[in-house]
C-alpha cells in the first residue's frame, strides 16, 4: 500500500488540532476531522472548532459541514470520508485524520459492522425507560440480554446502551454477535499517534479550555440553540449543562463547573477507548513534534 492515513488521537484539549496542522504542513497534505461534534455549523464555540487561521494553515474537511437539524450517522461519515480520502490520495501519499471520537476513527480505519434496521418504536421505548427509570434500568437490561458485550461496553453512555439493546430486542440475538463480522479491506495503511499527559495536566487543560469558551461566548451560543435543545446533536457536554441553567435548575457558576466535570469524564472515556488499541504509538503532549515526525517518516518510508 502506497497510501497512509496518519491518525492523531487522544483526549479532548490535549492538542490534537495544533499537532495535526504541523504534521499536515510537514507532509504538505490535508486534514480529515473525525470529531463528530465539530461537524455541526451551529456549534462552533462549544466544540472548539479550530480558529480561522488554523483552518487556513492546512486544508480541513468535515468541519462544520452539516446542520444540527440534519440526520447524520457514523455510517454517513464513513461513506463520505472514504470517498474524500480516495480523492486526496490521488494527490498525497499521506493524509492526516484528527479527532477524539473513537467510533468515527474506527469506522474509517476498520469499517463498521453491518447492523440490521431497527423499528424506531423500540428506540423510543428505550428512551422512555431511560427518562423514567434511569440508566440503571438500561444497564441491567443489557446485562441480561448480552452479558458478553456488557463486559466491554461503556455502560455509562446511554446512547451506546440503547444502541446495543435495540439490536438485541429487534433481532433476538446478542449485540456482540454482530461485532465479529469480517471487516472490509482499506486501500491505505493506518498509522496511529496518540497524545497523552498526566491526569492532572489533562484536567487543567480542560478547565482552562472551558474558561476560554465561556469568555468567547459559549453562553450566548447555547442560548441561541436552546429552542432546539431536544435535537440529538445538542445532547452534548457544554450545551446540556447550560440548558439546565436557562431552565432555572442551576446557577451559571454551577453549570460551568458541571461542564468541566463532564468534560473530564468524557476525556477519561476517550483514553479508555484508545488505550485498548495496541497499534497506537503514544507521545507525551509536550514532546517535540520533530520526534513524532521522525516516527511517522520511518513508518512511511520502510
Position 1 scores a pLDDT of 62
Question: CA 98 to CA 27: how far, in whole Å?
Answer: 15
Backbone angles phi, psi at 34, to 5 degrees: -115, 35
H/E element holding 158?
helix 158-171
> What count of other Cβ atoms lies within 10 Å of the Cβ of residue 14?
25
What is the β-pairing status of strands 94-98 and 31-33? Answer: parallel
Q: Nearest 5 degrees, angle CA 52-CA 252-CA 200?
A: 65
Q: Nearest 5 degrees, angle CA 19-CA 17-CA 237?
A: 140
Cell digits of residue 54: 488554523
Position 74 scores a pLDDT of 84
The reported pTM is: 0.83
Residues of the chain with pLDDT under 50: none
Domain 120-179's class?
mainly alpha
Distance of CA 238 to the CA centre of its chain: 15
Position 237 scores a pLDDT of 95
Position 117 scores a pLDDT of 79
Per the annotation, where are the binding residues?
A: 10-17
Question: CA 206 to CA 200: how far, in whole Å?
Answer: 10
pLDDT tens digits, one per residue of 155-189: 888 989 999 999 999 889 899 888 867 778 899 99
Domain boundaries, the chain: 4-112+183-301, 120-179
CATH superfamily of 4-112+183-301: P-loop containing nucleotide triphosphate hydrolases (3.40.50.300)
Residues sharing a CB contact under 8 Å with residue 257, sequence separation 6 or more, in sequence order: none
pLDDT tens digits, one per residue of 98-130: 998 888 998 899 887 777 778 888 988 999 999
| Secondary structure of residue 177 in the 3-state scheme | helix
Position 112 scores a pLDDT of 76
Position 180 scores a pLDDT of 67
CA dist 26 to 95, 122, 131, Å? 11, 49, 49
Taken in order 287, 290, 292, 295, the sign of the CA dihedral is negative
Per the annotation, where are the binding residues for substrate?
A: 12-17
Question: CA 107 to CA 103: how far, in whole Å?
Answer: 6
Per the annotation, where are the binding residues for ATP?
A: 10-17
H/E element holding 195?
strand 189-196
| Secondary structure of residue 2 in the 3-state scheme | coil
Position 72 scores a pLDDT of 85
Amino acid at each position: 500500500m502506497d497510501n497512509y492515513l496518519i491518525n492523531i488521537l487522544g483526549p479532548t484539549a490535549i492538542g490534537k488540532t495544533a499537532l495535526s496542522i504541523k504534521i499536515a504542513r510537514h507532509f504538505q497534505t490535508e486534514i480529515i476531522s473525525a470529531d463528530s461534534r465539530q461537524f455541526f455549523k451551529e456549534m462552533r464555540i462549544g466544540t472548539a472548532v479550530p480558529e480561522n487561521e488554523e483552518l487556513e494553515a492546512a486544508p480541513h474537511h468535515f468541519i462544520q459541514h452539516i446542520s444540527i437539524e440534519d440526520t447524520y450517522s457514523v455510517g454517513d461519515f464513513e461513506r463520505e470520508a472514504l470517498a474524500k480520502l480516495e480523492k486526496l490520495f490521488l494527490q498525497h501519499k499521506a493524509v492526516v485524520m484528527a479527532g477524539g471520537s473513537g467510533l468515527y476513527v474506527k469506522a474509517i480505519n476498520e469499517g463498521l459492522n453491518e447492523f440490521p434496521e431497527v423499528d424506531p418504536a423500540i428506540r423510543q421505548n428505550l428512551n422512555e425507560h431511560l427518562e423514567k427509570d434511569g440508566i440503571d434500568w438500561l444497564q441491567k437490561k443489557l446485562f441480561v440480554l448480552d452479558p458478553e458485550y456488557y463486559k466491554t461496553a461503556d455502560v455509562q453512555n446511554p446512547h451506546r446502551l440503547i444502541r446495543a439493546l435495540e439490536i438485541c430486542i429487534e433481532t433476538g440475538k446478542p449485540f456482540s454477535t454482530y461485532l465479529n463480522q469480517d471487516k472490509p479491506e482499506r486501500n491505505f495503511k493506518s498509522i496511529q499517534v496518540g497524545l497523552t499527559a498526566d491526569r492532572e495536566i489533562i484536567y487543567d487543560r480542560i478547565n482552562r479550555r472551558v474558561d476560554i469558551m465561556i469568555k468567547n461566548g459559549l453562553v450566548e451560543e447555547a442560548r441561541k440553540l436552546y429552542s432546539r435543545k431536544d435535537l440529538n446533536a445538542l445532547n452534548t457536554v457544554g450545551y446540556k449543562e447550560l440548558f439546565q441553567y436557562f431552565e432555572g435548575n442551576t446557577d451559571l457558576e454551577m453549570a460551568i463547573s458541571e461542564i468541566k466535570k463532564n468534560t473530564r469524564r468524557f476525556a477519561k472515556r476517550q483514553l479508555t477507548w484508545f488505550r485498548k488499541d495496541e497499534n497506537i504509538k503514544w507521545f507525551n503532549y509536550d514532546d517535540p513534534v520533530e520526534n513524532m515526525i521522525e516516527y511517522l517518516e520511518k513508518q512511511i518510508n520502510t
